[in-house]
Structure 1
């Protein structure tokens, strides 16, 4: 996002107040830190003269600095566009661009658009004016599209730096015939119109937001490649298949489900199959819960009123499966539990269910009520003791003294 698109003042980055010369472009959206800034630059003939320019939101493009302008991170420049020119901010310059070109698979010998000049005050004023009216135009564009009856959502509007062209980003599940819509937009907004369809993940990356973890969305801050995420990733991590919990702002499965998937897959290599059934004297035994990194498995009978869960290690369960494979029938879960010295505290059984019952406090409350009722009918403990009557007579003697003082 360009600094005029966010809330930074005067189109300049904040940060260390060095106007972009501190190695960072000063914006949280796909920000870049120049970790080569404190290293010696190569000879002049080997210096990379390609720079990366940031525009609104996450849009970045490479441009050729053919005039060898002394560009640094944070400079506002006017660059080549079709038609006219665009205005953006330098987000990367120097040797770091070579690594980015290799990462993006861009050939340096390609005919890249050119950097014209440093943006003057007139360029910045027109640029800021276009940015200020983008939101109002987006609202009006939505009203026009609804009037035509198109099933689409206009997510964002981006004006070119000189104000001659406006790009409308939209999402739609079906193909949209927007020829009439473009004519309506051109008549209403008096500029060249470009329609660009984006996916729901690209929409979330463009608009940004706060995730359920409390941090900014990965796709709007640093994530650029959107890999497919399946529900199997949630199952491997023992997560509940609840769309409201595992779906992101875009409505798709969260990209972070893939972050720890490899660690879970490595840890699950030694685990038996989740649907494996063990044969025992007490009946069929099935797995009801696993703890991946503690390497623990809870077993219970498949057909029994006893809902007790017994905890075993992965090695022990694998040994049970090997015994069944050899044709041996296991002992009952109770006997296996005693054999491997499982304590009652480590079991998920009736004791835990009783501890979680809602009426577990009712018996204590009833006892208190009965004690209060008995205490109200009893006499004081010192009623039959000597001196009790004297205290009452002393209280009675004080009353006539108070009456005499009043008279």
Structure 2
């Protein structure tokens, strides 16, 4: 297929006509329109020799990363080289790196061009994008979501962990990239709705035993932990708590 100033190899992910991919209400919900065709033209089907050449280039990328890191050290640049990728025709070498600040790598590019004898494309990416490209296993022992199926990464904040009553220890809620895990968003909507059914933690309420403080609640077990004035803690079903509160209100009104 066509690539930037040359040719590259791609993989067919889906085959369909543009009319089959049309959005009924429009992808922007303005009006019906068809999906534009790809900007890159497919030249031909890759031959076994083409695939072999690609695999050989992939084998060389380890040495490319090593050599690039040596050049980075030589120029004393504060950047971390994470991945290198040859274009199939060797007309371009793309190197991905992370850095805390902007990096002036003009001298580095010149050295790399002399060393690899091709056009160099240095791309700075974030730590989340780096994890997506490199892959790995999460705390759940499954492949990283950003690598396996997530098409886009939405912002993840500490408030998501607070709403779910999770530990706020960064080491326990951070992913392989060092940022908050994407899965903190998955059940957040459920917890947000649940908070409307459960009494807030720390609130003092009136029950069949008098005034008790809400210590915690379990969304999946539908239970609430209460602590009375004598320090005793009891765990009761949410339905029972509702009934006790209704009974306590009726008793107060009857006085």
Which band: TM-score by shorter chain? Answer: 0.7 to 0.9
C-alpha contact 1:142 1:154 (8 A) present in aligned 2: yes
Give the direction of change, closer, same or farther, for the CA distance of 1:216–1:104 in structure 2 (3 Å limit): farther
1:231-272 CA-partner distances (Å, limit 9, x unpaired): 222233232222122111111111111112222222221112
1:316-340 CA-partner distances (Å, limit 9, x unpaired): 55677789999x6xxxxxxxxxxxx
1:226-245 alignment to 2 at 5 Å? 226-245=153-172
Q: Does 1:80 align with 2:2?
A: yes
Any idea what SS the aligned residue of 1:174 has? coil
Please state how far the C-alpha of 1:92 moved relative to its aligned partner.
Answer: 2.0
Tell me which residue corresponds to 2:65. Answer: 138
Tell me which residue corresponds to 1:372. Answer: none
| Aligned alpha-carbon RMSD (Å) | 3.3
C-alpha contact 1:87 1:162 (8 A) present in aligned 2: no
Give the direction of change, closer, same or farther, for the CA distance of 1:98–1:289 in structure 2 (3 Å limit): same
Any idea what SS the aligned residue of 1:257 has? helix
C-alpha contact 1:278 1:320 (8 A) present in aligned 2: no
Any idea what SS the aligned residue of 1:90 has? coil
Please state how far the C-alpha of 1:149 moved relative to its aligned partner.
Answer: 1.7
Give the direction of change, closer, same or farther, for the CA distance of 1:125–1:316 in structure 2 (3 Å limit): closer
Tell me which residue corresponds to 1:159. Answer: 86
Unaligned runs of 5+ in 2: none
1:300-319 alignment to 2 at 5 Å? 300-301=227-228, 307-314=231-238, 317=241
Give the direction of change, closer, same or farther, for the CA distance of 1:315–1:107 in structure 2 (3 Å limit): same
Give the direction of change, closer, same or farther, for the CA distance of 1:97–1:220 in structure 2 (3 Å limit): farther
Give the direction of change, closer, same or farther, for the CA distance of 1:322–1:142 in structure 2 (3 Å limit): farther
CA distance in 1, matches of 2:103, 2:51: 35
Match of 1:268 among 177, 192, 195: 195
Please state how far the C-alpha of 1:146 moved relative to its aligned partner.
Answer: 2.1
**4+ aligned runs moved over 6 Å, structure 1:** 100-107, 319-326
1:325-404 alignment to 2 at 5 Å? none
1:8-407 alignment to 2 at 5 Å? 79-95=1-17, 98-99=20-21, 108-109=35-36, 112-120=39-47, 122-278=49-205, 285-301=212-228, 307-314=231-238, 317=241
Unaligned runs of 5+ in 1: 1-78, 329-407
Tell me which residue corresponds to 1:343. Answer: none
Give the direction of change, closer, same or farther, for the CA distance of 1:143–1:182 in structure 2 (3 Å limit): same
TM-score normalized by the length of structure 1? 0.53
In the comparison of the two structures, how many residue pairs are matched?
Answer: 245
1:209-242 CA-partner distances (Å, limit 9, x unpaired): 1112121111111111101122222233232222
Give the direction of change, closer, same or farther, for the CA distance of 1:143–1:191 in structure 2 (3 Å limit): same
CA distance in 2, matches of 1:222, 1:154: 25
CA distance in 2, matches of 1:80, 1:120: 16
Structure of higher CA gyration radius: 1
Give the direction of change, closer, same or farther, for the CA distance of 1:104–1:139 in structure 2 (3 Å limit): farther
Give the direction of change, closer, same or farther, for the CA distance of 1:101–1:169 in structure 2 (3 Å limit): farther
Any idea what SS the aligned residue of 1:214 has? coil
